[in-house]
């Protein structure tokens, strides 16, 4: 179950989305320590560069395609660990911070944990925010959806070393378009293999 909300109140500008995950709280906290992976799962971000710095932060650049007219970004992040998750602060841009809050799933839920992503835009005045509306990141809902899908796959397949290697070394650095193409090619290949197996089976039944 997903919960999504965009809230703009008189003296605050905050957007948030919540998802349930199959990971327990400790597993989810460990997963969220990999900041680069969290961002690269977002299909609305096309990365040009990603670098870590010596001050517990990162610098990355690329293009955001969440708006009708894509826009470039070049951002520096600083990371603060909080009791129930992690907070990411931005040194540039209209967004002030992104906070990942982790808690147990609601009673009666089949999921094990709940992740809430909160994006804060309070670093600028209201007038400044209006002037930078064309650089607002509108990918939050999609990002939450893809994170949830990733968590489901992670729960199912992460025990296999080859799968982890593929996701970390091949899938993660890909552009979103490359991932879609690879997904299609894998399905086509699987279909072709199935046809070959079917053909061999028919031949064996008919002539063996």
Assess whether 62 and 109 both reside in one domain: yes
Q: Does 167 fall in a domain?
A: no
Instruction: Tell me the pLDDT band of 182, cut-offs 50, 70 and 90.
Output: low
Q: What's the pLDDT score for residue 178?
A: 62
Work out the average pLDDT over 132-145.
93
Q: How many domains does the chain have?
A: 2
Higher model confidence: residue 195 or residue 95? 95
Task: Note whether 113 and 144 are same-domain residues.
Answer: yes
Residue 206: the pLDDT is 77
**109 or 148: whose pLDDT is higher?**
148
| Rounded average pLDDT over 18-25 | 96
Flag whether pLDDT at 10 surpasses 60: no
Same-domain check for residues 156 and 94? yes
* Domain match, 62 and 123 both: yes
The CATH number of the domain holding residue 33 is 3.30.530.20
Residue 117 is assigned to a structural domain of this protein: yes
User: Residue 165: inside a domain, yes or no?
Assistant: no
In angstroms, the CA 146 to CA 61 distance is 21
Lookup: tokens for 15:
């957007």
Distance from CA of residue 51 to its chain's centroid?
18
Give pLDDT, residue 8.
Answer: 35
pLDDT in the model for residue 13: 83
- pLDDT over 80 (residue 62): yes
Give CA separation, 197 vs 137, 183, 188, in Å. Answer: 47, 21, 14
* Confidence grade of residue 7 (pLDDT, cut at 50, 70, 90): very low
Per residue in 71-107, pLDDT (tens digit) is 999 999 999 989 899 999 999 999 999 999 999 999 8
95 part of a folded domain: yes
Backbone angles phi, psi at 193, to 5 degrees: -65, -40
pLDDT at 195 over 80: no
| Shared-domain flag, residues 52 and 144 | yes
Whole-angstrom CA distances from 208 to 194, 198, 199, 200, 205 are: 20, 15, 13, 11, 6
> Helix, strand or coil for residue 119?
strand
What mean pLDDT is reported for the chain?
A: 87
Q: Are residues 27 and 79 in the same domain?
A: yes
Residue 54 clears pLDDT 80, i.e. is over it: no
HEC sequence for 34-74? CHHHHHHCCCCEEEEEEEECCCCEEEEEEEECCCCCCEEEE
């Amino acid at each position: 179950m997903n919960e999504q909300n965009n809230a703009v109140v008189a003296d605050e500008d905050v957007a948030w989305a919540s998802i349930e995950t199959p990971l327990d709280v400790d597993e989810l906290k460990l997963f969220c320590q990999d900041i680069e992976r969290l961002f690269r799962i977002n299909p609305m971000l096309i990365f040009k560069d990603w670098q870590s710095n010596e001050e517990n932060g990162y610098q990355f650049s690329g293009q955001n395609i969440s708006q009708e007219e894509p826009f470039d970004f070049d951002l520096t992040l600083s990371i603060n660990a909080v009791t129930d998750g992690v907070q990411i602060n931005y040194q540039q841009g209209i967004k002030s911070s992104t906070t990942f809050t982790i808690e147990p799933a609601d009673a009666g839920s089949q999921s094990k944990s709940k992740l809430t992503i909160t994006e804060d835009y309070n670093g600028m005045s209201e007038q400044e925010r209006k002037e930078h509306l064309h650089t607002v990141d509108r990918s939050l809902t999609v990002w939450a959806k893809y994170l949830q899908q990733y968590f489901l796959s992670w729960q199912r397949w992460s025990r296999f070393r080859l799968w982890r290697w593929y996701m970390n070394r091949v899938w993660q650095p890909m552009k979103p378009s490359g991932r879609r193409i690879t997904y299609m090619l894998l399905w086509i290949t699987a279909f072709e293999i199935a046809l070959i197996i079917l053909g061999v089976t028919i031949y064996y039944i008919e002539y063996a």
